Structure formats: structure tokens, C-alpha cells
Amino acid sequence: MAKPIKCPSCSVGNLRITEIPYRVPYFGTILLVTLRCENCGFSHRDLFSIDFHEPMHYEVKVKGVEDLKIRVIRSSSGTIRIPELGVRIDPGPFAEGFISNVEGVLERVERAAMVLLHGAVDVEEKKRCLDFLEELRKAKDGLLEFTLMLDDPYGNSAILSADEGKVVKRRLTEEEVRSLKSGRILLETG
């Protein structure tokens, strides 16, 4: 039995760790990990690939509602970008891993933008948030073409489509791995 991990939120309770293997077509088996504190309710989700994957860049052009169903697997080490919307989701210790689809990614961005909207300090900032939410809604309705990019120096993340050729993927260059926030550890050990 591993040593109990103290909860980073309340520092009183211990984290209960649940690991569930999950088979993903066209990718392999991933491990869904949930950390949960029974004292304060803090929880954190992440996922990792069991198989070894190269540092990868995935990219898909979303051209309509049908493309919103394309599956997205994001580990906490994955960076998500949507250049047309100016969206970037960086990795970090509190970045959550999830299995979702393109629409689910947009919903996460929408929730974050709503939080920003409620915290807006002036009219200008509020307007920026509202304009952004408007663009996001178009994207969610399939009325706005955009590119979803996903980079992961550990290859734990992926964009997956049954339609071959829809998703462009390639190995990340050393340069790109270095520029990613979570790339450092890989280079130090590698």
C-alpha cells in the first residue's frame, strides 16, 4: 500500500485514488485517475496512456456540427489551442484530464468565459467577454470554422476520428516540445 497523500486543498484529509483502465479505439488503453478527499470534497481527474506514445501534435479543422462529435482525449500534460478564437488551455498541476469531444471542449471554454464575465471589472472587459461568448456560440452551432490543436509532449492526449485523414497528426519537434510548458521534465530525463 502506498503512503497516503495529503489533500492539497484542506491538508487534513487523505486523497483516495481510483484508477480505471479504459480502452479507446484507435489509441489504446488509458488509465482514468480520480483523486478525491473525503474530508473537504476536493477532487481531481486526470488520465494517462498505458501504452508508450511519442510527443504528438494533433490538429483538426472543424467545419460543421458533425465535426463537433470528434473525440478529444486530454491529459493534464496536453495543451489545447483554437487560434481562430484565441483560446489556449495550458497544462498545469490543476489542469484536469478528460475524455470528451470537440463540443465538450467548447463547453469547458464557455464555462471559463462565464466565470470571467461575472468577474469583469468594467464595461470594456464585460463587452470583450460577451463578444467572445457570441463567437463561441457560433462555433458550437457549427456556424464558425475553426482549428482545434492539441499538443502533448508525453503523447497522453489525442484527437481521434474514425474518418481517416480528418485529423492531422505528427510527432512534435524537439523545438516544439521545449516550448510547451510541461516539456521540461521530458527533456531533463531524456
Cell, residue 120? 469583469
| Residue count, binding to Zn ion (CB under 5 A) | 8
CA-to-CA distance for 49 and 44, rounded, in angstroms? 17
**Of 13-32, which residues contact Zn ion (CB under 5 A)?**
13
183 near Zn ion, judged by CB under 5 A? no
7 near Zn ion, judged by CB under 5 A? yes
**Of 29-58, which residues contact Zn ion (CB under 5 A)?**
37, 39-40, 42
**Site string (101-140) toward Zn ion, x via CB under 5 A:** ----------------------------------------
Of the candidate residues 4, 5, 6, 10, the single one contacting Zn ion (CB under 5 A): 10
Q: Do residues 31 and 22 make contact, with C-beta atoms less than 8 angstroms apart?
A: yes
Smallest distance from Zn ion to CB 17, Å: 14
Smallest distance from Zn ion to CB 94, Å: 14
Binding site for Zn ion (CB under 5 A): 7, 9-10, 13, 37, 39-40, 42
